[in-house]
Structure 1
Amino acid sequence: MAATRACQFLVGSSVMSTSGNSGRDRGVSLSQRMAMSTEQISSAAATTTTSFVEKGMSSEKKKQRRKEENELISNVYWNLDEMTEENRKKLKDYFEECKDLIRSDGGPPRWFSPLECASHTADSPLLLFLPGIDGTGLGLIRHHHKLGKIFDMWCLHIPVKDRTSFADLVKLVERTVRSECERSPDRPIYLVGESLGGCIALDVAARNPDIDLVLMLANPATSFNRSQLQSLIPLLELMPDQLLLNLPYMLNLVSGDPLRMALENVVKRLLPLQTVGVLSSQDLLGMPQVLADMLPRETLLWKLQLLKSASASANSHLHAVKVQAMILCSGKDQLLPSQEEAQRLRSMLPKSAIRLFEESGHFLFLEDDVDLVTTIKCSRFYRRGKYLDYVSDYIPPTPYEFMKICESNRWVIAATSPVMLSTLEDGKVVRGLAGIPSEGPVLYVGYHMLLGFELAPMVIQFLMERNILVRGIAHPMMFFRLREGNMLDLAAFDTFRLMGAVPVSGPNFYKLLSSKSHVLLYPGGMREALHRKGEEYKLFWPERSEFVRMASRFGAKIVPFGVVGEDDVGELVFDYNDQMRIPSLRSFIKELTEESVQLRTDANGEVSNQDVHLPGVLPKLPGRFYYYFGKPIETEGRKQELRDREKSQELYLHVKSEVERCMAYLKEKREKDPYRNLLPRLLYRATHGFTAEVPTFEL
């Protein structure tokens, strides 16, 4: 796959009740909703999630339930229980359940596991959610359902009247981490910390360098000493209770507008701006009281002092944090300078990465357009063992995620009106993908268009028409960097990872074929995708066969394919050769190339030229894309035969010639397509409907 911005084709819960709008579970007591923690966590924790659900079940029913859960997670793509935007928890559910939780509050800090997080598998990693200033532990309520499928999830609840010090909170979490590490030493533990919780997570990581922790820090309060919140402490200490009713009023004082205590300020200062439109007037009226109950004056003063000590402690221990960390920062955080702080933390934490949410406020996880699970999947931050396995740890996109991908590429597909042809077993060429094998392993080997233009329509069509997820072998620059510099941010390639791409390597190739996957391979690699002027439709394959013997080892079917149409959508006007003539650009290309892993360093000829650059392309009025998948080539039963170097090379050259034949066929046939140009296609759809399939040449 091409490693440039232009080839980025894919953009991409409740503790108490199953529905925040109903009251059918309101009678459940607090003790039923929460698992024991603090000193008794080690024995009780193992069954916190399933204990409520399986209570009273027979052993056979329990086995059946666990079997169903395993089937659910293994087939998560077509899971009918997938959350949609319509039934996803809303902000008002958070306030409603906070109200219910506060009413039954009391006792020391403790863990609880949301009831709707009971569908994870036995090998799911543990996720500990460490709350922010609210302390309820419900901050991930909008994500419980999806998180519960892939994590064993516990949430820390800090009661309103609790006055546990920061050091003791760290010790509480540390005891849990050590206990769970002893119980499952090969399973990573995720610490998701929001604001105050981010400081707790950092301190725990610093104190336990030998434990496999993964940190996810959402607007961590390590920047408290540079925030406007500091000025609240002396105000709270000096002014009487009747003037300082709750947090919204205090934030008004800080902002220099103490007279605006209306609901508008409550929403704008505390809540995500985009959620206002979905809340009724009754919902708005109840929020100030819930906030006041959650953070009364004494509690607010205590929490601010807690933030101060938390920030100081975490900052003093940053040098000792060596674990993997993701920093989630909001671009419009009005409480903390989170964006600047993320950059500072990134420079100090050696294994960290940043995810920026430009339009979000401080309470990131309550935002409508923030999906923590999708973020984890896109960034390949999910693993079940000590090391990330790109094949076995992969979780396919959910229907909602795939829908968003399709939406982001809707106009590309509409503009290019892809024509896809495949070959049946009897050699007949048909329109569509009927000739594609259903069962894997299948290896698709073909031509890589300039900048990977062909990827979006192809991968989307495979999933829509045949329910086949094609997993690409991609350049390592889409997954990691040798050093920071001028390369595109890794977030630019999020959707490649979401759709199952893996870094090119022998072990990854082996695992994909052994798991009977449908694998997409471009032998021409970056050199082919970043070709020069006049090189369109030219293959840049290595002289030696690279995939034949591996495919034969697993009896994989090899499907050669050709793609044409790049010359109908753009014209290459400023290529690699042009750029290398300019000293400044030559130096820039060298710097970019040094930031990424070099491939085929032992190869000869043009295929070894893997310099990273961005060609200049002049867009044209969009033409049409044509795909032709040749007849599958069987390798089943040829393992011994293809061990012979000559036989292997012979098949390799045959596959290459088939790819060239497919492209020659398409270049000839597209000349007879009356709908090759954009205007005829627009006229056809104007009369037959936007979603109508546009005809093409006769087969």
Structure 2
Amino acid sequence: MAVTGVSFFPATLSPVIRRDFTPSVGKFSKSNPISFRRLAVSTEQTQTQTPTPTTTATPTPTPTRRLSEKSEELGEAGVAASDDEVEQNGRVLKEYFERSKELISRSDGGPPRWFTPLECGPPLKNSPLLLFLPGILGVGLGLIKNHRRIGKIFETWCLHIPVMDRTPFTDLVKLVEKTIRSENNRSPNRPIYLVGESFGGCLALAVAASNPDIDLVLILANPATSISRSQLQPLMTLLEFIPDQLPFNPPNMLSLMTGQPLRTAIESVVKGLPLQQTVGELSQDLDAISSYLSVLADILPRETLRWKLQMLKSGSAFSNSRLHAVKAQTLILCSGRDQLLPSQEEGERLCHALPKCVIRKFNNRGHFLFLEDGIDLVTIIKGASFYRRGKYLDYVSDYMLPTPTEFKNVVEDNKWIGTFTSPVMLSTLEDGKIVRGLAGIPSEGPVLLVGYHMLLGIELVPLVANIFRERNILVRGIAHPMMFVKKDNTREMLPDVSQFDTFRMMGAVPVSASNLFKLLSSKSHVLLYPGGMREALHRKGEEYKLLWPEQSEFVRMAARFGAKIIPFGAVGEDDISEVVFDYDDLMKIPYFKNQIEKLTSEAGNIRTDTTGEVANQDVHLPGILPKFPGRFYYYFGKPIETEGMKQELKDRDKAHELYLQVKSEVGRCLAYLKEKRESDPYRNLLSRLIYQTTQGFTSEIPTFKL
């Protein structure tokens, strides 16, 4: 493991960070004591002026289209695709305790101070500031697994509270307030993120309540505002009565940080690891972990533990009494197996109490969420659409490409779609030749892909995933606003917004003329369904019927930027399902009619200015009968050029003529696929399984002759 370190300075200083970019030295070796030095300690006095850091400026992130142009795009995309792995649990715990030991040995009795981990590196230009507020341990290394990734997109400061420090909660609030006010004065247009873990969640809420005029974004992981209902209550009482002369060991919080060993062993066996190997590795991990119990005892001696538990109690009461004053945008992360706090219950309570709050639940995680395997803070922030560099979120300029790991996880979570439907992708070259694959999709944007929306949009994942995998092109989908926000802070009927995190991470943006304008102006590849929800929630007998607005859309916007319009069709929904109970049937039953009206009210109608059948955007779930799986087919037609047509298409009639041409081409693509699939010998799932059994499950399955 490469040697890493931190820049360390008192919080009472002017809160301008001083970095030490000393190169890392080799791997850890007892014969090389220099390589073990990981901290650059600042000993300046309070009155000393800390110099402003000088870092290499990197280009402002812009919406990125292609992942293959790494040298250019890593500077623009936000998160480097080649550096997206977070540390795994075994290594990170060792690192956590080694770094904690060094911080303890180098720090004094106070005051609390900020430090920046050296592995964070210089962030992108105009990155927001992230202040990490630690939990009860107070070390400030709770984000150690995520330092490299958050350091790419945030200017990151972590708060360290020395073991012997006795700063009261209200003074900690003032300390953080002084920092955010100073930074807000220095950069008034950038948001300040407060990431609070456990006790740090109380601190973040208290600071936000006192500073409603500052643009703060709160990310709270298992906030300790529920300490009054915690299992720590008996411990608080016990500490009050144990005489100082009696020996006392701190509670074994280490087991809470590492999770249940039995669960780890079971999961390893399920993954196919030999039992002997699993037991051996588990034993080694436990032996290594036990060697750091002394470090935990150093972090939490009895007097410190007693002080911190009292701080938790007062901090919880303080922040709970001021929840009504919190106006900041808030993301709550809560664990389902938190053995210290009732975190999921508390998360729900806070989410209802705070006006701009959303929640993400992690049912199988423990209290120390950020130290657990598979938890990537950057991915969570991206999925929740919580990353912005200005006062308002810009879905185009603030967007960051999915990293290879994030894309792999998306594919894994949805691999059943590809397994059952074996998608066939066809495209058209410039000379009109139809080929298998996606070579006909232009590499350079702006490109507008316009097509037919299958039932429930089930064609989306294979479409976006295959273009990304085969061509390294990310297609930005124009989506319904209900996938992004809660309307009036209520969402009783609609699915939870968290269910759409994957779509947002893969580039979906809310439908609006301004977002389409920004995407095309940035030369993106954009996915558009003129039929929208009405087409995706079609009635019985409407399979492959184009339900487009009567008036022309999108063509003049495309011509303004010279975008290539690619009409496409997708068929196969009738091979996997059949609508047996549609909207018309549901509206005849009073109960379902009432439910549809509530759903539609929550979602909102985005086509109030449209006439015709497509204007009916009522949200409902049709009754669907599954079928023995067939196959999906996609056909991308020949690109329609709009370059040089900007003036010509100002004429409404000519714009409408091009609009009808695109619609006709989409219909032609659908007709072509419906006809050709009849001659596909592998249209049936059984025939495809037989082929893969003989040829290998990674082999490409043939289709009809082109």
Equivalents in 2 of 1:66, 1:516: separation in Å? 16
* 1:95-494 alignment, distance < 5 Å: 95-106=97-108, 107-241=110-244, 245-248=248-251, 267-273=254-260, 280-483=285-488, 484=490, 485-494=492-501
Is this contact kept in 2: 1:36–1:111, CA < 8 A? no
Q: Which has the higher helix share?
A: 1
Give the deviation of 1:88 after TM superposition: 9.4
Give the deviation of 1:230 after TM superposition: 2.3
Equivalents in 2 of 1:661, 1:235: separation in Å? 77
- Do the aligned partners of residues 549 and 88 (structure 1) sit closer, same or farther apart at CA in structure 2, a change above 3 Å counting? farther
* 1:530-679 alignment, distance < 5 Å: 530-679=537-686
Equivalents in 1 of 2:621, 2:250: separation in Å? 50
Q: What's the Cα RMSD here?
A: 2.5
Give the deviation of 1:272 after TM superposition: 2.5
Residue of structure 1 equivalent to 2:518: 511
Is this contact kept in 2: 1:248–1:270, CA < 8 A? no
Equivalents in 2 of 1:66, 1:496: separation in Å? 24
Equivalents in 1 of 2:73, 2:382: separation in Å? 20
Residue of structure 2 equivalent to 1:92: 94
Give the deviation of 1:100 after TM superposition: 2.1
Per-residue deviation, residues 164-196 of structure 1 (Å, max 9, x unmatched)? 110111111111000000110001000001111
Per-residue deviation, residues 584-634 of structure 1 (Å, max 9, x unmatched)? 111111111111121111211210111111122222111010101000000
Equivalents in 1 of 2:254, 2:117: separation in Å? 26
How many residue pairs are counted as aligned between the two chains?
657
- Do the aligned partners of residues 242 and 634 (structure 1) sit closer, same or farther apart at CA in structure 2, a change above 3 Å counting? farther
Is this contact kept in 2: 1:220–1:338, CA < 8 A? yes
Higher relative contact order (CA 8 A, sep 6+): 1
Is this contact kept in 2: 1:21–1:93, CA < 8 A? no
Residue of structure 2 equivalent to 1:32: 40
Is this contact kept in 2: 1:681–1:694, CA < 8 A? yes
Per-residue deviation, residues 383-437 of structure 1 (Å, max 9, x unmatched)? 0000000000001101100011111122211211111110011111111011110
Is this contact kept in 2: 1:248–1:269, CA < 8 A? no
- What letter corresponds to residue 238 of structure 1 in structure 2? F
Moved more, 325-334 or 239-248: 239-248
Equivalents in 1 of 2:690, 2:46: separation in Å? 69
- What letter corresponds to residue 344 of structure 1 in structure 2? R
Give the deviation of 1:30 after TM superposition: 7.3
Equivalents in 2 of 1:653, 1:65: separation in Å? 41
Give the deviation of 1:46 after TM superposition: 4.4
Residue of structure 1 equivalent to 2:28: 22
Give the deviation of 1:87 after TM superposition: 10
Give the deviation of 1:447 after TM superposition: 0.1
Is this contact kept in 1: 2:424–2:633, CA < 8 A? yes
Equivalents in 2 of 1:664, 1:35: separation in Å? 75
Give the deviation of 1:65 after TM superposition: 11
Is this contact kept in 1: 2:4–2:38, CA < 8 A? no
- What letter corresponds to residue 456 of structure 1 in structure 2? V
Equivalents in 1 of 2:189, 2:429: separation in Å? 47
Identical residues among aligned pairs (%): 63
Equivalents in 2 of 1:298, 1:335: separation in Å? 20
Is this contact kept in 2: 1:391–1:511, CA < 8 A? yes
- Do the aligned partners of residues 286 and 275 (structure 1) sit closer, same or farther apart at CA in structure 2, a change above 3 Å counting? farther
Equivalents in 2 of 1:31, 1:167: separation in Å? 29
> Which 5+ residue runs of structure 1 have no aligned equivalent?
1-12, 55-61, 250-265
Is this contact kept in 2: 1:217–1:327, CA < 8 A? yes
Equivalents in 2 of 1:645, 1:378: separation in Å? 39
- What letter corresponds to residue 536 of structure 1 in structure 2? E
> Which 5+ residue runs of structure 2 have no aligned equivalent?
7-22, 62-69, 266-280
- Do the aligned partners of residues 515 and 38 (structure 1) sit closer, same or farther apart at CA in structure 2, a change above 3 Å counting? farther
Per-residue deviation, residues 639-687 of structure 1 (Å, max 9, x unmatched)? 0001100000000000000000000000000001111111111111111
Is this contact kept in 1: 2:89–2:373, CA < 8 A? no
Per-residue deviation, residues 177-223 of structure 1 (Å, max 9, x unmatched)? 00000110001000001111111111111111111000011111111
Residue of structure 2 equivalent to 1:520: 527
- What letter corresponds to residue 349 of structure 2 in structure 1? R
Equivalents in 2 of 1:501, 1:691: separation in Å? 29
Give the deviation of 1:691 after TM superposition: 1.1
- Do the aligned partners of residues 76 and 151 (structure 1) sit closer, same or farther apart at CA in structure 2, a change above 3 Å counting? closer
Equivalents in 2 of 1:20, 1:224: separation in Å? 44
The alignment partner of 1:90 has SS state of helix
The alignment partner of 1:228 has SS state of coil
**TM-score, normalised with respect to structure 2:** 0.89
Moved more, 645-654 or 564-573: 564-573
